[in-house]
Chains A and B, each alone.
Chain A
Amino acid sequence: MVRGLHKSYGKAVAVDGVDLDVRAGEVFALLGPNGAGKTTTVEILEGFRKRTSGDVRVLGVDPQQGDEAWRARVGVVLQSTGEFDDLTAREVVHHFANYYPAAADPDEIITRVGLAEKQHSRTRTLSGGQKRRLDVALGIVGRPELLFLDEPTTGFDPEARREFWSLIRDLARVGTTILLTTHYLDEAEALADRVGVLAGGKLVAVDTPDRLGGRGDGGVTVGWLGPDGPVTERTEAPTALVARLAETFGGEVPGLTITRPSLEDVYLRMIGAGE
């Protein structure tokens, strides 16, 4: 889908040789710190920015040449929240549905994003999280095959994020391909089939969340309460270590913990190395 993508602004290089393939039907999360090039990459894929070099195909089409038929297959939720001032949420969603040949029922979309109670309010009076739900509603009302979500849950409270996640899972279940950027690791872990980590304009790793950066291959920390206080030991063979401990203690091991590196540990190591 993306080969050798470069984007520079004058001398500043924002995206530096990214290769990326997102498979049909997959939820792919692009992780990275601010300024890593996430939005630049996504906006090139959405056809909003011109690339400096490289080859890009989105649903088989070069986004710079994307026509209306292509746009109808792509849903876009931009990073910035758009405002429609004095129009109501309901008016905006119903209006946008007219743009798409196979639009979903706007009322159903309003309910799905959780705006049913606020649909008659003017959009300028909505809270940040509610405006974001409206953005999402406008991104999915055309029933896209491919949905771009640029930091979709910024400004959401924890409950709203859970609701949003279940909405994304529903969309994925019916076969929508989803490319989302986020800097919430739990969001990537909860939603994504695969995660790509961008740092300094380079894609430093692509893998499933549980295998990213060798998370799945050993390197486990076992901790317990020894006679002289807490002890931790890193091991490649935790089962053997725990069996040995059980023997030593003659049964239950006091304060036993077994932890694999969290996605956050792996991620912080990666973006540290990428800079």
Chain B
Amino acid sequence: MNTLRLGLLRGGLETKQFLRSRESVVFTLAFPLILLAVFGAVFSGEIAPGVTLTQYFAAGMIAAGLLSTGFQSLAIQIPIEREKGILKRLRGTPMPRAAYFIGKVVMVLAIGLVETVLLISVAALFFGVKLPATAGSWLTFGWVALLGITACTLCGIAFSSLARSGRSGPAVVTPVAIVLQFISGVFFEYASLPEWMRGIASIFPLKWMTQGMRSVFLPDSFAANEPSHAWQHGTIALVLGGWIVLGLVLCLLTFRWTERD
């Protein structure tokens, strides 16, 4: 049985487990949906003729949904698995180590897909969010989502080593995720944020993911509203690619199968 096949099997099992767990379904899947609904109901105005504020937030919320499935869920789930001895038990089997990580990636991709489809459907059906019309926009959507969730997944795995116990996972990761959402253009219009705040946000992947999603969901003329007056697709790919490399290196250096020896 080869590593890839075992990884896919693990991915299937992990997805099943995720969907059966009420906590993970509520916190990871439903939370971004609830936020989208709240924002959609509260901000009904238009930021330009024919473009609602919800259209703007929907783009950010989709990026935040990817952050939630990739980064938050793993940074919370892996310390629990470590504390419960599930990781140790897996180390006691001939399972190739890579199969575990492939399984996590498969699960995140599956859940991320479900999450994104749900968000887009709710946004389009209930809040009149207009979906991209061109194949080019969907292509951009695809690569931004894929690079973004990959970067988030690897950072989530790396971040999981920071929590000292299963219980401390949410406490360590939730503030990070919430602050990132506030400064990266999920809850506020990015261009309206103070420059120093934008500077901090530009270091992290979420800002680039929301910007990429805005380039898909907002009319092209809105590029002028970005602080850089452009969608910067090249830079988005570069920054997310950089985080993928950094995340991978951190995973390999810091991952622990057991609590401290």
Contact = CB atoms under 8 A, between A and B. Distances in A.
Interface of A: 46, 48-50, 68-69, 71-72, 74, 76, 78, 80-87, 91, 95-96, 98-101, 122, 138, 142
Nearest to A83: B84
A123 to B, nearest CB: 10
26 contacts: A46-B92, A49-B261, A50-B261, A68-B95, A69-B94, A71-B92, A71-B93, A72-B94, A76-B89, A76-B92, A78-B88, A78-B89, A82-B86, A83-B84, A85-B17, A85-B20, A85-B21, A86-B17, A87-B20, A98-B6, A99-B94, A99-B95, A100-B93, A101-B1, A122-B20, A142-B94
A48 B91 contact: yes
Listed residue (A50, A83, A86, A95) with the most chain B CB atoms within 10 angstroms of its CB: A86
B6 A99 contact: yes
Interface of B: 1, 6, 9-10, 13, 16-17, 20-21, 84-86, 88-89, 91-96, 258, 261
A46 B258 CA distance: 13
B13 A71 contact: no
Given A80-B85, A84-B86, A142 B93 contact: yes
Contact of B258 (A48, A69, A74, A85): A48
Contacts of A98: 1, 6, 9
A12 to B, nearest CB: 13
Contacts of B261: 49-50
Nearest to B19: A86
Contacts of B1: 98-99, 101
A101 to B, nearest CB: 8
Listed residue (A71, A72, A85, A100) with the most chain B CB atoms within 10 angstroms of its CB: A85
Nearest to A122: B20
B25 to A, nearest CB: 11
Nearest to B6: A98
Contact of B9 (A69, A74, A95): A95
Given A71-B94, A98-B6, A100-B93, A86 B20 contact: yes
Listed residue (B9, B88, B93, B96) with the most chain A CB atoms within 10 angstroms of its CB: B93
A142 B94 CA distance: 9
Contact of B89 (A82, A91, A101, A142): A82
A148 B129 CA distance: 59
A96 B89 CA distance: 10
A143 to B, nearest CB: 12
Contact of A78 (B9, B85, B95): B85
> What are the 6 A-B residue pairs with the smallest beta carbon separation, nearest first?
A86-B20, A76-B92, A71-B94, A72-B94, A68-B94, A99-B93
Given A50-B261, A95-B9, A99-B6, A138 B89 contact: yes
A71 B92 CA distance: 7
Contacts of A82: 84-86, 88-89
A46 B85 CA distance: 14
Given A50-B261, A91-B13, A95-B9, A78 B92 contact: yes
Listed residue (B1, B91, B94, B96) with the most chain A CB atoms within 10 angstroms of its CB: B94
B94 A100 contact: yes
A37 to B, nearest CB: 15
A13 B17 CA distance: 41
Contacts of B17: 84-87
Contacts of A99: 1, 6, 93-95
Contacts of B9: 95, 98
Nearest to A100: B94
A58 to B, nearest CB: 13
Contacts of B95: 68, 99
A121 B91 CA distance: 25
A60 to B, nearest CB: 16
Given A87-B17, A99-B93, 7 more contacts: A71-B93, A76-B93, A82-B85, A82-B86, A85-B20, A85-B21, A86-B17
